[in-house]
Amino acid sequence: MNAPLIRSPSSEHIKHIALRLFAERGIDGVTVRDIAKAAGQKNHGAVGYHFGTKEALVREIVVDGARIIDERRQKILDHIEAEGGPQSVRQILEVMVYPSLALFDDDEDDCYLRFTVVINMTHRELFTSAIGNQWNRGYQRCLSHLRRLMPPMPPSIKNQRLMFVGGYIAMMLALRQTALSDTTRSHSTWPSPETLRHIALTASAIIDAPHDEDYLNEPPLALP
């Protein structure tokens, strides 16, 4: 397992600023000059100096969060498996939810989950190649357990369910992060620990719903 790069305070600050800008505007909506200016760098070539290219900067930001999430997931799964588990779908979905929270020590972690949703919609190949097989192992272990614990259904339907549940969790956590980043008003729902458990609970409904071949073969709803 490769150790994380040791970056200077200046380059870490640039990553912090870039993460927020990418989360708010998307990858294509931010230039290296935008990043340098927002980071207080007089030299507009600062991104190139520290990271080489904008793509290299994006890759490093992806890995910074993915490494933490993956290491947390694998540690939790090791413990669960050592005790003979997992025994339920819900237990695995909690492993998919909770390790994604509070990734960093400062306020930049109100952006990472939003950033990953944006990059997956616009530059998915960049995201998946940055993670590769190295920082995705915990997630793949979760999927393997879910396949085993799911109700009987064709493999293609299982794959669809896993795709649905991954998208659902990612989007709900990104929505939560977006809401909590707005400090101009109070939030009654998103800060509650019960809300996170409810996300896991409703995600389990996607996995546990019985397969209904007849319904899937019905013609689509006709619009008026």
**Which amino acid would we find at residue 81?**
E
Q: Is the pLDDT of residue 64 over 80?
A: yes
Q: What is the pTM of this model?
A: 0.90
Q: In the chain, what is the straight-line distance between the N-terminal and C-terminal CA atoms, in Å?
A: 57
pLDDT single digits (tens) 101-142: 988 765 545 799 999 999 999 999 999 999 999 999 999 999
Instruction: Please count the other Cβ atoms lying within 10 Å of the Cβ belonging to residue 125.
Output: 7
d(CA 77, CA 143): 12
Nearest to 45 by CA among 17, 14, 23: 14
Pair 56, 126: CB distance under 8 Å: no
**The pLDDT of residue 2:** 53
The whole-angstrom distance between residue 213's C-alpha and the CA centroid of its chain comes to 31
